[in-house]
A = this chain, B = another copy of it.
Amino acid sequence: MAGEPRVTIWNEYRHEKNDENVVEIYPEGIHGALAAMLKEAGFRVRTAILDEPEHGLTDEVLNTTDVLLWWGHMAHDEVSDETVDRVHERVLGGMGLIVLHSGHFSKIFKALMGTTCDLKWRHDDTERLWVIAPGHPIAEGLGEYIELEEEMYGEPFEVPQPDELVFVSWFGGGEVFRSGLCYRRGRGRIFYFRPGHEENPSYHNPDVQLVIRNAVRWAAPTPGATPVYGHAEPIE
């Protein structure tokens, strides 16, 4: 891949239009905040939102996307199955996918995981994300942990065992959560990253931003051989 990955940030973009508290934190939307900090880091960035035609995820957009970020919460069901199928196919074909916070219940994440992706939750807690894999590229440049005021997500988190576990979160209310999970599916890489409740300013936190930038680089495609499927003549 020549140059920095081409990133598309997908956002449901509902809370930030309707809820004053959220508007104050993310006046340009969550996608706007993420786009600004990724552009500053040199990535080529676009955004797409639910209310655009084809939810902004046309063939043309996906064909020129190396890594897709996904934030959704209250309107998962409004995402069309056609769009989900298209994104699913691209991920298996090599496009990176970073699923953020309440995106755990998005159609695309559930389809890729094959499980309910269910969990516990509660607003207004203290979260401390501990680095479990200190040599992992997604943790590069961090200290021992990241501390945030956040919504709590608690175990059990019904997802397949990740290929790599990068963060585990501690919550003040007494829970724990696997909060940074790496998966390979087909030729694509998927990273689930827990923080990002719309009422907390986590995407303005420098360490959270660093993790997302690291994750974009980690998730970018490394095009190997195009796999060959179907009927095959014997080699021997």
Contact = CB atoms under 8 A, between A and B. Distances in A.
A159 to B, nearest CB: 9
Contacts of A156: 130-134, 227, 229
Given A135-B188, A165-B165, A225-B144, A232 B120 contact: yes
Interface in A170-184: 170-176, 178, 183-184
A158 interface: yes
A3 interface: no
A182 to B, nearest CB: 10
B174 A134 contact: no
Interface in A40-92: 92
A154 interface: yes
Contacts of A92: 115-116, 158
Contacts of A235: 128, 173-175
A114 B113 CA distance: 6
- State the main secondary structure of chain A at its contact with B: loop
Given A142-B224, A224-B131, A115 B186 contact: yes
A67 to B, nearest CB: 13
Contacts of A94: 135
Stoichiometry (number of copies): 4
A94 B115 CA distance: 12
A164 B165 contact: no
A161 B173 contact: no
Contacts of A131: 155-156, 224-225, 227
A36 interface: no
Interface string A196-236: 00000000000000000000000001111111111111111
A135 B168 contact: no
A101 interface: no
B119 A234 contact: no
A154 B232 contact: yes
Interface of A: 92, 94, 111-116, 118-122, 125, 128, 130-137, 139-144, 152, 154-158, 160-161, 163-165, 168-176, 178, 183-189, 221-236
